[in-house]
Amino acid sequence: MTSPTTAELVALAQDLYEDLSFTSAREWKKADPTRKVIGYLPVYVPRELIHAAGMLPLGILGGGDNLEVIHGDAYYQSYICRIPRSTIELGVSGRLDFVDGMLFPSICDVIRNLSGMWKMLFPETYSKYFDVPQTYKDEIGGTFYINEMREFLSDLEKIAGRKITDEQINASIAVYNQNRRLVNELYELRAAMPWQAPASEAYLIIRAGLVLPVEEHSEMLRQYIDAAKAEKRPIKDNSKVVVTGMFCEQPPLNLIKSLELSGCYVVDDDFMLVSRWLIGDVPTTGDPVYHLSQAFLHHSMSTAAKYEPDQAEKGQFLVRAVRKTGAEGVIFASTSFCDPALLDRPMLQNVLKAADIPFIAFKYAENSGQMQPIREQAGTFVDSIKLWSAA
């Protein structure tokens, strides 16, 4: 049997991306009457716990630019971002009618309030606001988080109708460790040879992991990485950039492609942080909930939705991302009306100024259609990088 090409894998991932009825998840569930599906919103939930319950964690990242929002707009004022309205649209239009539970992680006031709206709109479906600590001492935030995870496990046990053992969770941690390693390998490949694994392709491949069972997704990642390394693709005279601010409402795929067309190699980003939130492997023996809490507290990504207790550390993740990938600049791309990203932006920009890293900023929505201004802005940015860095 021949290995699939990057084009074949990307086409498969794009089908999953465009399928707003979540057919693959529906079919996964239909294959066995005991199976359950738990949806989750950005930024992070411990998917290992859901997996250990024998359930499919399903990432819900809004409706993108292909969903016509008819009902969702009636729930939100014009000055609120788009992801909650398209998520409601997915719900009230029946596209999530097979989902057995929904998780709303602690990210901002809008998603927090959406958790309550979900309870009102879908009272028969389990829904939970998934609170996480913003204080990172083991005996304080750690204890709180362990207890929150245990409460969540207890809820999952009720839905599953069975106990979830530590062994099962440890086995799931191992599966997700492997998946994270592969995601990181893809990021490293893209940073080193972005022409071999363009951001728009990597985006689709990683995003497939939000709807596929993790084992299948790891296989897809392995195949894509191997195929991307093997294929010969032309090197363009692009500039390497890091994109930040897209951690919740996702950009339209065309936006990522437009950045590439305007001369950017996107070598790092904060799309779908759940895929690489935990940094490094989580131990697979001992108390798994403790280990997940330790990973969250001490070995997890930085983003605007998290409190940074150390002023000296503020924004340094971005400087490190630039240095590590050899990027020449940063693009702040934030969703309109996104409090965390937009409030964080001036602080991050000050850090970049101090580090002498050029940047630009623009806003978008998941259904932005007009890419020309973004293309022009990004193109000018790349030109200026080339001009001034050479001088």
Partner 1 sequence: MRPSVLKAQPADVLKDASMIKQKEMMANHYNRLTDAKENGHKVASTFVPGNLNELIMCFDLVNNLPEVNAIQSGLRKQSGAYIMEAERAGHSEDVCTYVKSDIGMMMKGNIGPNGKKLPDPDVLLLSYTGCFTFLKWFELLREQYKCPTIFLQTPYMADGKVTPNMVQYMVKQLKEDVIPTLEKVSGVKFDIDRLREYLAKSAKAEDDLVYILQSGKNKPSPIDAYFGGIYYIGPIFGAFRGTDDAIDYYRFLREEVDQRIAKGLGPVTPDGPMGDEKFRLVVEGPPNYTSFRQFWKMFYDEGAVVVASSYTKVGGTYDYGFRHDPDRPLETLAEYCLGVYTNRSLPMRIDMLCDYINEYEADGLLINSIKSCNSFSAGQLLIMREVEKRTGKPAAFIETDLVDPRYFSGANVKNRLESYFQMVEQKRSGRGAAA
Structure tokens at 17: 């991306």
**Could you tell me how far CA 242 lies from the centroid of its own chain?**
15
Output 55 or 111, the one with its CB closest to partner 1. 111
Least Å distance between CB 146 and partner 1? 9
Least Å distance between CB 254 and partner 1? 22
Least Å distance between CB 382 and partner 1? 22
Binding site for partner 1 (CB under 8 A): 74-77, 79-80, 84, 106-110, 112-117, 119-121, 128-129, 131, 133-135, 137, 139-141, 143-144, 147-148, 151, 304, 307-309, 311, 314, 334, 336-340, 342-347, 349-350, 363
User: Which strands, in side-by-side order, build the sheet including 37-40?
Assistant: 56-59, 37-40, 101-105, 126-130
Output 5 or 336, the one with its CB closest to partner 1. 336
Output 150 or 299, the one with its CB closest to partner 1. 150
Residue with token string 């580090």:
355
Output 134 or 165, the one with its CB closest to partner 1. 134
Which distant-in-sequence residues (6+ apart) come within 8 Å of 271 by Cβ?
203, 206, 207, 243, 246, 247, 250, 251
Output 60 or 211, the one with its CB closest to partner 1. 60
Three-state secondary structure call for residue 37: strand
**Measuring CA to CA, how many Å separate 186 from each of 48, 183, 189, 228?**
21, 5, 5, 9
Output 28 or 104, the one with its CB closest to partner 1. 104
Query: What string of H, E and C letters represents the secondary structure of 211-244?
Result: CCCHHHHHHHHHHHHHHHHHCCCCCCCCEEEEEE
Output 286 or 346, the one with its CB closest to partner 1. 346
- Cβ atoms of 256 and 203 closer than 8 Å: yes
In whole angstroms, what is the distance from residue 294 CA to residue 146 CA?
A: 9
In which element (H, E) is residue 122 found?
A: none
Least Å distance between CB 187 and partner 1? 27
- Give me Rg for the CA atoms of the chain: 20
Least Å distance between CB 96 and partner 1? 17
In whole angstroms, what is the distance from residue 112 CA to residue 117 CA?
A: 9
Output 123 or 234, the one with its CB closest to partner 1. 123
Least Å distance between CB 98 and partner 1? 23
Phi, psi of 330 (to 5 degrees): -125, 135
Structure tokens at 305: 């939705």
Least Å distance between CB 77 and partner 1? 6
Output 35 or 119, the one with its CB closest to partner 1. 119
DSSP class per residue in 139-154: IIIIHHHHHHHHHHHH
Least Å distance between CB 352 and partner 1? 12
Least Å distance between CB 79 and partner 1? 5
| Alpha-helical regions (H) of the chain | 6-18, 23-30, 47-52, 83-92, 109-121, 143-160, 166-192, 199-207, 214-230, 253-261, 288-298, 316-325, 339-354, 372-390
